[in-house]
Amino acid sequence: MRDLFFAVFGILMLTTFISWLLFARFSMARIERQMLRDGVGRPASWDGFGLRVLWYASAISFPVGVFNQSDDPLIDVPKVRSYARQYDRLLGWVLMVSGLCFVISVFVGGPMLGLY
């Protein structure tokens, strides 16, 4: 069981880290460049510890609703969504889902196996 946990943990960790880097470099950077070209300022003014990537990913990949409000004070969700392509939505979704599964595996799988 431990071997399976570590294999799943490793795959989720790599998927999360790689998708984070790809989304930040290719999707978020492109969206910000396009917005600057159009004379629109950066939709998220604060970037604590690289968390702006998660704001962009959630704004793009999840439908507007309870968990992705259009009047979010940290990011202009409708504006960011208008600049997103299908590739950005898919990469954002991979980042958010793999990140959530990674966090769940850390907080649930580790204690269940007595790792800490």
Q: Indicate whether 66 belongs to any domain.
A: no
Q: For all residues of the chain together, what is the average pLDDT?
A: 90
| Domain around 86 | 2-57+71-112
Residue 64 belongs to some domain of the structure: no
**Which is nearest to 16 in space by CA: 87, 110, 115, 104?**
104
The answer to whether residue 9 is domain-embedded is yes
Distance separating alpha carbons of residues 53 and 65, to the nearest angstrom: 19
Please report whether residue 99 resides in a domain. Answer: yes
Residue 36 lies in a domain: yes
Q: At what angle do helices 52-61 and 86-104 cross, to 10 degrees?
A: 120
| CA angle (60, 62, 66) in 5-degree steps | 125
| 30-42 pLDDT tens trace | 999 999 999 987 7
- Give Cβ neighbours of residue 116 (< 8 Å, ≥ 6 apart): 110
- Does residue 65 lie within any of the structural domains? no
Total domain count for the chain?
1
Residue 116 has pLDDT above 90, yes or no: no
For the chain, how many residues are written? 116
User: If you average pLDDT over residues 54-72, what whole number do you get?
Assistant: 88
Beta-carbon contacts of 57 under 8 Å, excluding residues fewer than 6 positions away, are 23, 27, 91, 92, 93, 95, 96
Distance CA 32, CA 111 (A): 40
In a domain, 62, yes or no: no
Could you report the per-residue pLDDT of 7-35, keeping only the tens digit for each? 999 999 999 999 999 999 999 999 999 99
Nearest Cα to 95, choosing from 35, 52, 66?
52
* Residue-level pLDDT at 70: 86
